[in-house]
Amino acid sequence: MSAVDRSAPAHEIRERFGFWKRSYAMLIKEFIQLRRDRVSFAMIVMLPVMQLLLFGYAINTTPHNLPSAVLLQEDSDLARSVLKAMENTAYFRFIYEVHDVDDFDNLLKSGKVLFGVEIPRGFERAVRRGDKPALLVAADATDPVAASAALGSLGMLVQTALAHDLYIGNPPEMPFEIRAHARYNPAANSSLNIVPGLVGTILTMTMLIFTALSVTREVERGTMEALLSMPIKPVEVMFGKIIPYVLVGFIQAFLIIGIGVLLFSVPLFGNVLLLALLSTLFIATNLSIGYTISTLVLNQLQAMQMSMMFFLPSILLSGFMFPFAGMPVWAQYVGECLPLTHYLRIVRAIMLKGATMQNLRYDTLALAALMLVAMTIAVTRFRRTLD
């Protein structure tokens, strides 16, 4: 052990092909490192697979079976035929039947249905008399893409509805008309849909990354060891790390909404305070999820990668880029687990529809529940020791 063994002959160094040898050395090293980095490796496989599956199976730009409500003021055979015909187009799926106008409006406002059909009192009699009554179809046009195809199908509807109704026959003239009303966004202006959506998307991305890096950064810089040796509890670390960014997120939301209102003339019909309150909840939820990520990963690169893995489905399955109602049921369930889904409903409903807390109870509760779940995981996962 006292001296280095010098018995081996010195190795020769040759300058030929130096460029290739050095490049090769680098290449070998990169491959070894890549193989050891499990998360990067997972990312290489998961990202394309996830994208393909989501775009292939979950995303549908001409959505069918859209949730609809009917305000039934007359329960006649003709009314039933019309509703049946609408369902037969495969665009509409009636999940609510109400008899009160307020209930009808609230269903649309809260986003529980995308369409509402109003069958007026005395509809069948008016048709028989040849009065050509109007059948009102109200569409939630905050997402113009989701509504347009379904609205387009209404033109042919009168004939098909009557073809099956032998009682009235097949008259040469239209016995009634269907009047479509695109609520909240009559001009189908896409910026009205996109700007509120961007508030949620941008907040998701920035908030996640801020806190996803916070714990790993302390571990990487070596400050975590000192922090753990001091009398501070995991919950205290978490609150201390989350609260400053709530303010950051709030400023961000204020900026985006301000620009949207001033430059893109996006209306803000609802209560500003309610929007601020629920935005704060959404910001805190994302920060908690980011923080949870940072307790699960080993370094900052992994934290970024995991944030990406969370961000991607958030954009695709939340209803930001593609209509939520058009997705298959399993994808909708996944979407319900993403905070962005709920916030998009909230922010669109408050800004464009003037919704109140009453309309948004479900989404608010969902956000709060997601936040609590994330915080619980984070606090239990936070390593109090270096074991």
Partner 1 sequence: MNAGNDIAIDVKGLTKSFGGREVVHDLSMQVKRGSIYGFLGPNGSGKTTTIRILCGLLTPDSGEGTCLGYDILKDADKIKRQVGYMTQRFSLYQDLSVRENLEFVARLYGLTDARGAARDMINRLGLSGREEQLAGELSGGWKQRLALGACTLPSPKLLLLDEPTAGVDPKARRDFWNEIHALAAEGLTVLVSTHYMDEAERCHEIAYIAYGHLLTRGTVEEVIAGSALTTYTVTGEDLNDLTGALTGKPGVDMVAPFGTSLHVSGRDVAALEASIAPWRDKSGLHWHKSAPSLEDVFIELMGRSKDNFQG
By CB under 8 A, name the binding residues for partner 1: 1-3, 221-223, 225-226, 228-232, 385-387
Give the integer Cα–Cα distance in Å for 321 and 327.
12
* C-beta closer to partner 1: residue 32 or 227: 227
* C-beta closer to partner 1: residue 120 or 234: 234
Q: What's the chain's length in residues?
A: 387
In the chain, the amino acid numbered 12 is: E
Q: Least distance from C-beta 328 to partner 1, angstroms?
A: 44
In the chain, what are the helix, strand and coil shares in percent, each to the nearest 5? 65, 10, 25
Angle (CA) 149-155-161 rounded to 5° is 110
State how beta strands 92-98 and 115-119 pair: unpaired
Alpha-carbon dihedral of residues 331, 334, 340, 345, nearest 10 degrees? 60
Q: Least distance from C-beta 230 to partner 1, angstroms?
A: 5
Closest CA to 81 of 32, 37, 117: 117
* C-beta closer to partner 1: residue 238 or 349: 238
Q: Least distance from C-beta 238 to partner 1, angstroms?
A: 15
DSSP string across 223-274 = HHHHHHTSS--HHHHHHHHHHHHHHHHHHHHHHHHHHHHHHS-----S-HHH
Q: Least distance from C-beta 251 to partner 1, angstroms?
A: 22
Q: CB within 8 A of 95, min separation 6: which ones?
A: 67, 68, 69, 113
* C-beta closer to partner 1: residue 60 or 299: 299
Q: Least distance from C-beta 23 to partner 1, angstroms?
A: 34
For the chain, how big is the Rg over CA atoms in Å? 29
Give the integer Cα–Cα distance in Å for 157 and 226.
71
Q: Least distance from C-beta 244 to partner 1, angstroms?
A: 14
* C-beta closer to partner 1: residue 232 or 365: 232
* C-beta closer to partner 1: residue 179 or 383: 383
Q: Least distance from C-beta 229 to partner 1, angstroms?
A: 4
* C-beta closer to partner 1: residue 3 or 251: 3
Closest CA to 249 of 288, 306, 296: 288
* C-beta closer to partner 1: residue 162 or 242: 242
In the chain, the amino acid numbered 81 is: S
* C-beta closer to partner 1: residue 177 or 236: 236
Q: Which letter does DSSP use for residue 5 in this model? A: -
Q: Least distance from C-beta 234 to partner 1, angstroms?
A: 12
Q: How many CB atoms lie within 10 A of CB 74?
A: 14
Give the integer Cα–Cα distance in Å for 95 and 110.
14
Q: Least distance from C-beta 281 to partner 1, angstroms?
A: 28
